[in-house]
Amino acid sequence: MSTISATEAPHLQQIDLTKLTIPRLNLLKQQLDKELDVFQESLQALKIAQNKFQESGHCLDKITPKAQGKEILVPLTESMYVPGRLADTENVLVDIGTGYYVERNVADAKDYFTRRVAYVTEQMEKIQMAGLEKSKIRDAIIDVIKMKIHGLSKNEGA
């Protein structure tokens, strides 16, 4: 493959890679490497968010009427807790982002976390697909660079 087609990079025109110079090809490869790094970092951040939403949903399974009055640890910071008692087993406060909390019943909170997991998973799949396309383009550039270098070394030997 020596061209980048519109299906692989819809925002780009079709480019014949064989007509580009090696320095230009290297520049394109470096740009793609940076983009792939950003995709990887985004996937890692989304995976962390996905795990937090899943964990929150699983923790809600422990909030049952039987748990009313049971002793729990209440977080004051990420590493400091105080003992407390579970007073309400029907409602929870859900962190919906940027410091906003909403009171929900347990069933609605479970539904919220299920929807968040599905949304984050969908975003991860989109990033993975975009990354796969960028990887294909990067591989094509590497192949052309190798071909050009092989052609140069062949010409020098003659």
Count the Cβ atoms, other than its own, within 10 Å of residue 124: 17
Half-sphere exposure of 104 (CA within 13 A, CB side): 18
24-78 pLDDT, tens digit each: 999 999 999 999 999 999 999 999 999 999 999 999 999 999 999 999 999 999 8
Q: Taking a C-beta distance cutoff of 8 angstroms, is the pair 49, 124 a contact?
A: no
Q: Taking a C-beta distance cutoff of 8 angstroms, is the pair 117, 47 a contact?
A: no
Q: What is the model's pTM? A: 0.77
Query: Which residues, in sequence order, are CB contacts of 99 under 8 Å at separation 6+?
Result: none
Residue 22 belongs to what H/E stretch?
A: helix 22-59
91-117 pLDDT, tens digit each: 999 999 898 999 999 999 999 999 999
